[in-house]
Amino acid sequence: MFVLGIDPGLSTTGYGLVETSRGGMRAVTVGVIRTDPADPIALRLAELETDLVGILGEYQIDEAAIETVFVNQNRQSAMSVLRASGVVLMALGRSRIPVTEYTPSQVKASLSGYGGADKQQMQRMVQSRLNLPALPRPADAADALAIAMCHSQTLGMTRAVERAQ
């Protein structure tokens, strides 16, 4: 099964595709989509959609997972992430790829057993579990891999419970 994880953002959107099989998990591709902060927001959102649709068309993707928007004190930043999330969800919907949303603490708890793990701990966990030669960078790409891994694990547990019933 191929699961695409996405960490949405207007400036940088991370993506990571993980394949899960009986042999475990492996990273298929990982990267970021960047937009120029000097460009108008409408153009940046259009570029995000175009690049993401290209990725969706390039790989066989069974499911997707996206990190939910965490609204903190910075409303402007939250608004940018919300806009990017909408574009991501729209592209996945148009491609008929089922998508699940996870909070940052759900992703952290799924991989590390602790919902308060820091970015460095998460990068090391992703590197270790996927047998990567180096820490995945930038952080947005590492987060996207973690989101994909979280969803793969959740699907695996759900299916195991269904088989047992």
- Active-site amino acid positions: 7, 67, 140
In whole angstroms, give the CA distance from residue 138 to residue 153.
Answer: 23
In whole angstroms, give the CA distance from residue 87 to residue 9.
Answer: 10
H or E segment and range at residue 20: strand 12-21
**CA 87 from chain center: how many Å?**
14
In whole angstroms, give the CA distance from residue 61 to residue 148.
Answer: 11
In whole angstroms, give the CA distance from residue 31 to residue 15.
Answer: 6
Task: Return all residues near 109 (Cβ < 8 A) that are at least 6 apart.
Answer: 115
CB atoms within 10 A of CB 114: 11
